[in-house]
Amino acid sequence: MSDVQNRVAGAALVASGAVYFTAEFVAAAAWSDPPYSYTHHFISNLGVRGPVTAFGQFMYSPLAWVMNTGFFLFGLAALAGVALLRGLPGRRRWPVVATAVMLAAGGVVLAFFPGSGEADLHAVGAFLGFLGGNVLVILLGGAYRLLGVTRRLGRVLAAAGVLGLVSLVGYLALLESGAGILIGLVERGIVYPFLIGLILLGAAVRKKPITG
């Protein structure tokens, strides 16, 4: 039973990142006039139907519902995967689950409060996702032995989380300065590392199930 549970957990973790990247790609590809910029535009712009100008950027996402569905599903898939992971004792498990809950809550808030609407709620959702996702992979990296994965993967997960948190500091500094230079790229530096980390962990858990 534990082997089956780990396979399901691994599949859910892989799916969380895959759902996000697929939704982002599809929504960005549909934004063609003018083309969506991964380096300039905020990620959340993809969830705004528009056309509208807000926060200094033009927003027009014909498939906004795809991005918002992706926001909603990826965090829930990550939470499901973390909740199903075997090997973490209670004192190590609860902080991991708590940060996964933060990530899932952030995704749900982002889905229901697009970037041009309730700005305060949207910002809360983004912060929950940014912080929850990166702290989550750091905690998972530190528990690599308990999860039955390699030390190398544990280091990769921890490094991904640190990179994401450093990028978060840079992102907040850019927002404060109002410069907006490459802000879309810096924002992706917050999100992509922990998503890739979850995919790598999910693949490893599926390959090397924990017995117990």
* pLDDT tens figures, 25-42: 999 999 988 899 999 999
pLDDT score for 53: 85
- Measured CA to CA, the distance from residue 194 to residue 45 in angstroms comes to 20
How much of the chain, in percent, has pLDDT values that exceed 90? 74
Confidence at 17, pLDDT banded by 50, 70, 90: very high
Residue 212's pLDDT is: 42
pLDDT band at 114 (very low <50, low <70, confident <90, very high): confident
Question: Which whole number is the average pLDDT over 53-82?
Answer: 93
d(CA 181, CA 158): 27
Q: Identify which has the larger pLDDT, 211 or 199.
A: 199
How far apart CA 98 and CA 82 sit, in angstroms, is 10
Mean per-residue pLDDT over the chain, rounded: 92
How much is the pLDDT for 198? 98
Whole-structure pTM value: 0.93
Q: How many angstroms separate the CA atoms of 109 and 48, rounded?
A: 14
How many Cα atoms sit within 13 Å of 168 on the Cβ side? 21
Q: What would the pLDDT profile of 143-188 be if each residue is shown by its tens digit? A: 999 999 999 999 999 999 999 999 999 999 998 888 778 999 999 9
32 three-state secondary structure: strand
Predicted local confidence at residue 2, as pLDDT = 66
